[in-house]
Amino acid sequence: MWRCPLELLLLLLLAGESALGARRGRGRRELAPGLHLRGIRDAGGRYCQEQDLCCRGRADDCTLPYLGATCYCDLFCNRTVSDCCPDFWDFCLGVPPPFPPIQGCTHGTRIYPVLGTYWDNCNRCTCQEQGRWECDQEPCLVDQDMINAINQGNYGWLAGNHSAFWGMTLDEGIRYRLGTFRPSSSVSNMNEIHTVLRPGEVLPTAFEASEKWPNLVHEPLDQGNCAGSWAFSTAAVASDRVSIHSLGHMTPVLSPQNLLSCDTHNQRGCRGGRLDGAWWFLRRRGVVSDHCYPFVGREQDEAMGRGKRQATARCPSSHAHANDIYQVTPAYRLGSSEEEIMKELMENGPVQALMEVHEDFFLYQGGVYSHTPVSLGRPEQYRRHGTHSVKITGWGEETLPDGRTLKYWTNCREEGYGACDNS
């Protein structure tokens, strides 16, 4: 306990020193004058003029922010040339600058020097000679044209801008936001389990697992920019099923990170993985809770060696002590019969589904999603897809304006994604 005040003192001392450093800024200015080799270049920038600032002699606080650095409007800067604001000569001395003006580019109300850059969503624009911008031409994950086309096209769902996706390229979205490998033929040929409907049995038109099992169906975790949906969807379905089947005696949120870090055989962590491998690991090795082994967004070396019921290692999180290991019974494959999937969900809890995610899915904001043809007329790099896996928690149906019934699956609370269509 006694160490605390000492550390505090140390911090104060450090802070004091850096304040001193700032006051001695002039020294730095003299020693390393070359902010830019030939002085500050920002064609047409208004700095001294903007603030009506011209200082006599040497005035170390006669400065203005300049493109992430500082420039001066005092006469002293005239000696080194290099740290005067661009309009210093013109505005303060009334003489032309001692170097030829260079051309910049304008964007909005700002003027950028040659090689200056700004970001236009996912593309970087660079100022070239002759005031010309040159921008990368990558398809972006959030694409305003696609949003408009979807919203005007009456596809039954609403598109919009997810701020977490803004600035990412479509390629990055496919690479970092999904993360399930297509199952090998040995998995897709695995025997199906058939749930038999009783003769005359009628399933409800809508069902939501969290209504049947309140508090036993967990909120989804956010996988961020980790292409690890294989671990997230498996841990999510297993968490719900452990809770439901134990009748609420255990309600763990199982750790996707435990899978990402420790299930490494033929798996690639945040670069994708296989569902059969994840279920195998959950059955044979088991995982601890997310509280014990929280998500860090990448693979890490924290082995959780397996004891009988508890891990042999302590929780990576220093706040958690319970390192119980949870294991599950073998996973099984359901057939593609809609009713059998529904009955399974209703009797045993959420199920896992593979889905092919296309470029438009990243814009989903509400309604019943189905892949739209809005990118069909565009170059191929705008039409991308990748395999994802999700937890399905229920189903429903809605009547379309033309009287047809549209059935859908739900994974209502997966962040950014809502209902998924059923066709």
Ligand X SMILES: *[C@@H]1O[C@H](CO)[C@@H](O)[C@H](O)[C@H]1NC(C)=O
User: Where does this chain bind ligand X (CB under 6 A)?
Assistant: 75, 78, 93, 95, 98, 142, 144, 161, 163, 166
Q: Which is nearer to ligand X, 98 or 305 (CB)?
A: 98
Residues 82/127/381/269 CA torsion (nearest 10 deg): 10
Instruction: Please report how close the Cβ of residue 95 comes to ligand X at its closest, in angstroms.
Output: 5
Least gap, CB of 215 to ligand X (angstroms): 33
Rank residues 56 and 194 by Cβ distance to ligand X and give the closer one.
Answer: 56
The nearest distance, CB 167 to ligand X, in angstroms, is 8
Nearer to ligand X, 54 or 406 (CB): 54
* CB of residue 403 to ligand X, shortest distance in Å: 36
- Token readout for 168 is 């990412």
The distance of closest approach from Cβ of residue 159 to ligand X in the complex, given in angstroms and rounded to an integer, is 12
Nearer to ligand X by Cβ, of 144 and 329: the residue is 144
**Whose Cβ is closer to ligand X: residue 88's or residue 181's?**
88
Between 25 and 96, CB nearer to ligand X: 96
**Cβ 55 to ligand X shortest distance, Å:** 12
Report the residue number, 80 or 370, with the smaller CB distance to ligand X: 80
Quick one: 73 or 75, whose CB is closer to ligand X?
Answer: 75
Smallest separation (angstroms) from ligand X to the CB of 166 = 4
Nearer to ligand X, 93 or 400 (CB): 93
Residue showing the smallest CB distance to ligand X in the complex? 163
| Tokens linked to 336 | 């593609």
Q: What is the 3-state secondary structure (H, E, C) of the chain?
A: CCHHHHHHHHHHHHHHHHHHHHHCHHHHHHHCCCCCCCCCCCCCCCCHHHHCCCECCCCCCCEEEECCEEEECECCHHHHCCCECCCHHHHHHCCCCCCCCCCCEEECCEEECCCCEEEECCEEEEECHHHCEEECCCCECCCHHHHHHHHHCCCCEEECCCHHHCCCEHHHHHHHCCCECCCCHHHHCCCEECCCCCCCCCCCCCEEHHHHCCCCCCCCCCCCCCECHHHHHHHHHHHHHHHHHCCCCCCCCECHHHHHHHCCCCCCCCECECHHHHHHHHHHCCECECCCCCCCCCCCCCCCCECCCEECCCCCCCCCCCCECECCCCCCEECCCHHHHHHHHHHHCCEEEEEEEEHHHHHEEEEEECCCCCCCCCCHHHCCEEEEEEEECEEEEEECCCCCEEEEEECCCCCCCCEEECC
CB of 161 to ligand X, least distance (A): 4
Distance CA 278, CA 166 (A): 31
Q: How far is the CB of 37 from ligand X (least distance, A)?
A: 17
Q: Which is nearer to ligand X, 77 or 357 (CB)?
A: 77
Does residue 215 contact residue 357 with C-beta atoms inside 8 Å?
no
Smallest distance from ligand X to CB 220, Å: 21
- Distance between CA atoms of 391 and 240, rounded to whole angstroms? 10
